[in-house]
Structure 1
Amino acid sequence: MSKEPKQIPKSARFLLGGSAGISATIITQPLDMLKNRMQMSGLGKKEKQYKTSIHALTDIVQKEGFLELYNGLSAGVLRQATYTTSRMGIYSYLLESLKKNDYKLTFPLRVGCGLGAGVVGAFIGTPADVAMIRMTSDGRLPPSERRNYRHVFDALIRIVREEGVLAMWTGVLPTIGRAMVVNAVQLSTYSTVKEQLIKMKVVDDNILCHFLASMMSGFLSTVASLPIDIAKTRMQNMKIVDGRSEYSGMVDVIGKVVAQEGVLALWKGFTPYYARLGPHTVLTFIFMEEYTRLYRVYVMKDTSGEGSGF
């Protein structure tokens, strides 16, 4: 007879979520670089800078060196330490609390938990996100216009000193909007697909199950969130010219993209974005599941076989 599963401490929920996000980011950072460069391609120019993701990859490596693909890694890690720690920790804690109080975890309820977790995580993680966008986009600029941030903390210090504290939350509304969409789709879809796969006995609660659920989650998240992510990327990378911002808001960005580049430009960089978000989603959930299992077994001495709670 199995023992009653123990409750994972709240602090551990956040630690496990952040560790999973950081582990995934270390692996997928070059894909984030390609995604950001593709989204900035064509901005302020008559022709696109990069025609395809492969063109972007080869051009960056040839002109800027292989290590440029990891420019912004420190910001990416800090973003995961803030954003993912918050969103994954809050989401898993909410689900566990609802289960404990005998609520039926319906899909709409999971979506609501994902929305809430996304809002909080996005606000906390925006400063690191701004730094990462600027660092990964820097190489596309002429040498005289580059910011040349040495690392994420240099970026944040200079942003505050040169532009003010509030500049760290540039694009916070589209960032929150993207996070709401990503988390509502990603987290709720993962939980639901995983549950149904196990319930229908397609697979057991193992790595294959986590892989299948996270692949579906990553694809749907990409389709839903890419237009908002493009608006966020361009707002966070914009410059102030003659005292005026390049864009007045998310709607202004999307309107100008559609008018100047066409509707399909809202999904520009789909391949590197999915290539980044897909594997990142898969790796984050797999790391989360495995770290949680290891924590239960080796720290909590829990032999009930209970999973992550997702």
Structure 2
Amino acid sequence: MSAAPSVTTLEDEVAHLDAKLAVLRPAQTSARDYALKYLCAAMSTMCASGVTNPFDVIKVRQQLRTQLPGQSANAFWAVGAQMVRAEGPRALTHGFAASMMREFTYSGMRLGTYEFFKDTLNSASNGALTREGVALKVLAATCSSSIGSFIANPTDVVKVRMQAHYPQGRPYHHTAHAFASVFREGAATGVPFGGVRALWRGAEATTARGVILSISQIASYDQVKQSLKAHGVMREGLPLHITASLFAGLCCSVMSSPVDVVKVRLMTDKNRELKGVFHGVRTILVNEGPMAFYKGFSMCWARLGTHTIVSFLIFEELRKLVGIAPV
């Protein structure tokens, strides 16, 4: 009769200790584990990008429109329907190959090396940056996303170019042709390293977006998971992964949309009408108003929210498959 309460108490104690150990687990991780984390991150985000590519195309088309905010013609269903009617269903797959290349480098880096930077910064600070603290997560997300965003900028430029609308017909035959065209376009300006500069056009906005996105997505996912487990609200498993990823998807959509709009405008600005990030922000603000920075937000949320959920669910399952602890 007296055994039942002690069993229940023991289970509660084990669950509580498990949550604490998950938060305070040691940082010793092998190079093999870091490599596996990168591959798991790249594979999961590539799957997510494949699912959300149609949303991404519609979002880019919305962000490139310059009519006044609130006009129904810019609604995602109107843009999507117009695309299918005018260009066929395959228009929703534009930029797919470049998107896969981008995910492997950019998202693989920002998500796959996040824990490497967490471990490194925690060790370098002799524990001053605690694993349960927000500061460590923010700094780790900043480091991983800054590097990944800059390296992957050319794939982002080509992806956006291939997803944009061209009334006179698409100028790019395939992904390799788009890379070459952008390079030649920059080289033709006569500016030193013009071709390389063209491929890295908008890198400032890309990096800023990557940092904001990663802090609001990866760090928030990590923090929500940690808090729910530490307070005994939820245990490690699918329901916890879904809950944390839903919160992270909304958070990163709200935070990254303005920078994303500026980034897309810069990357598709063939005539160099925008002189840089700050000039782009000012031009959009003056000509279209502050709400222009949230053009395509519904598609941004649909894409990023779905992308976040799919990415983290697959990421966690792949980690389990290869024997790596959850995030």
TM bucket, shorter chain = 0.7 to 0.9
Alignment partner of 1:90 is 2:121: no
Alignment partner of 1:118 is 2:145: yes
Cα–Cα, structure 1 residues 48 and 248, in superposed 2: closer, same or farther, change >3 Å? farther
> Cα distance, 1:17 vs. partner?
1.1
* 8 Å CA contact retained: 2:225, 2:240: yes
Cα–Cα, structure 1 residues 219 and 47, in superposed 2: closer, same or farther, change >3 Å? closer
> Cα distance, 1:281 vs. partner?
0.9
In structure 2, the residue corresponding to 1:204 is in which secondary structure? coil
1:292 to 297, 312, 319: 319
2:84 to 61, 64, 89: 61
Aligned residue in 1 for 2:325: 307
Number of aligned residues: 290
Single out whichever of 46-55 and 221-230 deviates more from structure 2.
46-55
In structure 1, the residue corresponding to 2:152 is in which secondary structure? helix
Letter matched to residue 130 of structure 2: K
In structure 2, the residue corresponding to 1:202 is in which secondary structure? coil
> Cα distance, 1:25 vs. partner?
0.6
* 8 Å CA contact retained: 1:171, 1:232: yes
1:104 to 130, 138, 142: 130
1:204 to 235, 258, 267: 235
Alignment partner of 1:142 is 2:163: no
Q: Distance in 2 between the 1:126 and 1:237 partners?
A: 13
> Cα distance, 1:48 vs. partner?
6.4
* 8 Å CA contact retained: 1:41, 1:50: no
Cα–Cα, structure 1 residues 134 and 227, in superposed 2: closer, same or farther, change >3 Å? same
* 8 Å CA contact retained: 1:74, 1:152: yes
Cα deviation digits, residues 238-280 of structure 1 (max 9, x gap) = 012xxxx110111111111111111111111110001001110
Cα–Cα, structure 1 residues 289 and 142, in superposed 2: closer, same or farther, change >3 Å? same
Q: Distance in 2 between the 1:165 and 1:98 partners?
A: 32
Letter matched to residue 37 of structure 1: R
1:274 to 296, 301, 316: 301
* 8 Å CA contact retained: 1:159, 1:165: no
Letter matched to residue 17 of structure 1: A
Gaps of 5+ in 1: 297-305
> Cα distance, 1:74 vs. partner?
0.3
In structure 1, the residue corresponding to 2:49 is in which secondary structure? helix
Aligned-residue sequence identity (percent) comes to 28
Within-5 A mapping of 1:128-277:
128-137=155-164, 140-143=165-168, 146-147=170-171, 149-163=172-186, 164-240=195-271, 245-277=272-304
* 8 Å CA contact retained: 2:117, 2:143: no
Gaps of 5+ in 2: 1-13, 19-24, 187-194
**What's the TM-score once normalised by structure 1's chain length?**
0.87
1:23 to 33, 40, 47: 47
* RMSD (Å) for aligned C-alpha atoms: 2.4
* 8 Å CA contact retained: 1:13, 1:89: yes
1:71 to 81, 94, 108: 94
Aligned residue in 1 for 2:8: none
Cα–Cα, structure 1 residues 86 and 50, in superposed 2: closer, same or farther, change >3 Å? same
Aligned residue in 2 for 1:11: 35
Q: Distance in 1 between the 2:208 and 2:138 partners?
A: 14
* 8 Å CA contact retained: 2:121, 2:136: no
> Cα distance, 1:95 vs. partner?
2.6
> Cα distance, 1:42 vs. partner?
2.0
**What's the TM-score once normalised by structure 2's chain length?**
0.83
> Cα distance, 1:135 vs. partner?
0.4
Cα deviation digits, residues 281-303 of structure 1 (max 9, x gap) = 1111111111111011xxxxxxx
Q: Distance in 1 between the 2:87 and 2:71 partners?
A: 18
Q: Distance in 2 between the 1:153 and 1:98 partners?
A: 38
Q: Distance in 1 between the 2:246 and 2:322 partners?
A: 24
Aligned residue in 2 for 1:303: none
Which structure has the larger Rg over C-alpha atoms?
2
Cα–Cα, structure 1 residues 233 and 48, in superposed 2: closer, same or farther, change >3 Å? farther
